[in-house]
Amino acid sequence: MSFAPKKKTSKHRSRQRTTNWIKLSAKKLFNRVALNAEGNGLSHFADENGMYKGRQVVAAKKSKQKVTRI
């Protein structure tokens, strides 16, 4: 009884698996971008305008102004 695999995994198969994992991680990261209200430039954080790495990733929130009636 041994703990080694039955057959060697080819370079193509192992690299293909790694590439798919990287693509999946990048997609999850893109969907999980959080808003950074302070604007201190933390990595993987969009600012309050919805900009991340120079592109619009989240729709900018419009501030609701109160209308005072007299």
Distance CA 32, CA 26 (A): 10
The residue assigned the tokens 């192992």 is: 14
Determine the 3-state secondary structure of 46 from DSSP. Answer: strand
The structural domains of the chain, with segments of one domain joined by +, span 34-61
What is the pLDDT at residue 50? 75
What is the pLDDT at residue 12? 95
Q: What is the pLDDT of residues 6-61, one digit of tens each?
A: 999 999 999 999 999 888 887 777 666 565 555 555 666 777 777 777 888 777 66
